[in-house]
Amino acid sequence: MGKAPAIIGVCSVILVAMVVAVAVGVTRSRKGGGSDEPTTSTKAVQTICQPTDYKQACENSLADTNTTDQGAHPGGFPSGYPRDKEGCHNSGTIQDAAKDPMSRQALENCKELISKLDEYVKNLKIWMGGSITYQQTCLDGFVNVSTEAGEKMRKLMNTSQMLTSNGLAMVSEIPKLVHDLNIPGFGKSDTGGAKRRLMAKDGFPSWVSFRQRKLLLQNPSQIRPNVVVAKDGWFYNEYVIVDKHMSNVVIGDGPTRTTITGRLNFVDGTATFKTATVAVIGPKFMAKNIRFENSAGAIKHQAVALKVQGDQSIFHNCQMDGYQDTLYSHSHRQYYRDCTVSGTIDFVFGDAASVYQNCKFIVRKPLDKQQCMVTAQGREDRREDSGFVFQNCTFTGAPDYLPVKARSKTYLGRPWKIYSRTIIMQSQLDDIVAPDGWMPWEGNFALDTLWYAEFNNRGPGAVQTNRVKWRGIQKINGVQAQQFTAGVFLRGGEWIQNAGVPYIAGMIPGL
């Protein structure tokens, strides 16, 4: 079976659970009232369960959704899950069953199938997190609108936002439920990211098709891309959209030879989301050796050079130049290697799960009285697998910025959304970084809920003595830092390793 049917099946179950959870949670009646009329929630449960083979079990399970301690079942998981879990929790029984040859084969089948569950769950969490980001981006467009349209849209989208958040919560529980089964050999994580379980003899996962194997076994330099833009190098004043039907697109012939530039901006009347010179929506996009620019200038405020929404996007040896909001790492999984990004305010922002490896971030001269912030990560839900990770990167200033660095300070970032998450590790921080390191967004917003960490950095800007003391600032060790490497955080062994770009799965030795 291919990936899509399995994922659709899981999503269908989750969708039903979300619908029932909301229906039950809103109008569930408890004992008393003296009425024999079924409540709206009871009718909803009966309707949902009508097509099933085991109607009574379905109704009993879903009807109990709102009576259990919600803290014990994040996201409103139906209480039938724990009951089902009890039936197979006894590992001793499973071990005894394994003594029988047929039972042992069945157990091996389960191990093989459940070993793939983590992959599906990871994908679901990324995609559902992307849904949350899309919903929030929609609402963000109304922030500077003077009409009541924004508030009306917020009310209209309230239910869908709750449903998506509940779905993400339920998906997040799946690994824990499987782990709690306590079946020997289940739930072992692929922490290295370099190889997956169930490898075929050629070193690729068993689910990779024959056609895909042939492509992956080729020398990357011999693979012909779907589209090549600016093969001979030039300066292109245009706007490019790589839509959802375009994948595996490679563009460029050198960041100093090929530039795609534009100047759409907020001040002149374009919403930030639409200002991007290049917008990547399609999955599995790859760009190498090219420069993306928004030349609107600091005076025009928000002006995006590159916006990336496509899942599993890769950028190698690229340059992104702008001022405010240069690189919009909007959503899904993204990997940047040997890239250069320049800007002034929030010039790396969005809610993607992004790893920036061996990249350079250059602060440019801002307008008078402006401060500079490199990042503005926008994680909206605490269960999202999103966040910005900077590994072996350099944070420095452009020549025109250095003379004004004392009055226009630079900060590593600020929290755009309530669960903003940014990790900077094994990186060079020049003296442009202010001693307090991080800047608030507004007042005390998100200072307790953000997740910011610095680990094993170097340079004068890496000194921790005078860093802010917010509750959300984390002190992590090497084991925790490992969880944010490309191999683990992005599961890069599945899609980056064979892409023909430099890639380090774990911590970089010697740093």
Domains annotated for the chain, with CATH where assigned, are 3-27+38-180 (no CATH), 228-494 (2.160.20.10)
380 within 8 A of 164, measured Cβ to Cβ: no
Residue 149: predicted pLDDT: 80
Q: How far apart are CA 343 and CA 325, in angstroms?
A: 7
Residue 107: predicted pLDDT: 73
377 within 8 A of 350, measured Cβ to Cβ: yes
351 within 8 A of 380, measured Cβ to Cβ: yes
Taking each helix axis as running N to C, give the angle between helix 149-180 and helix 101-140, from 0 to 180 degrees, rounded to the nearest 10. 160
Question: What is the mean pLDDT, run by run of 10 residues, along the chain of 511 residues?
Answer: 44 48 45 51 60 61 48 38 42 62 76 71 82 84 77 78 75 69 51 44 55 59 58 80 79 84 96 95 93 97 97 96 98 97 98 98 97 97 95 98 97 98 99 98 98 98 97 97 97 93 96 89
pTM, entire model:
0.75
Q: Which of 136, 126, 122 is nearest to 352 (CA)?
A: 126
**CA-to-CA dists, residue 354 to 43, 240, 315, 494, 500, angstroms:** 44, 22, 11, 15, 18
307 within 8 A of 348, measured Cβ to Cβ: no
Sign of CA pseudo-dihedral 48, 167, 117, 8: positive
Which of 346, 351, 381, 385 is the catalytic position? 346
Q: Which of 390, 412, 408, 426 is nearest to 468 (CA)?
A: 412
CA 144 to chain centre: 26
| 3-class secondary-structure state, position 415 | coil
Strand residue runs (E) in 42-200:
none
> For this structure, is 346 an active site residue?
yes
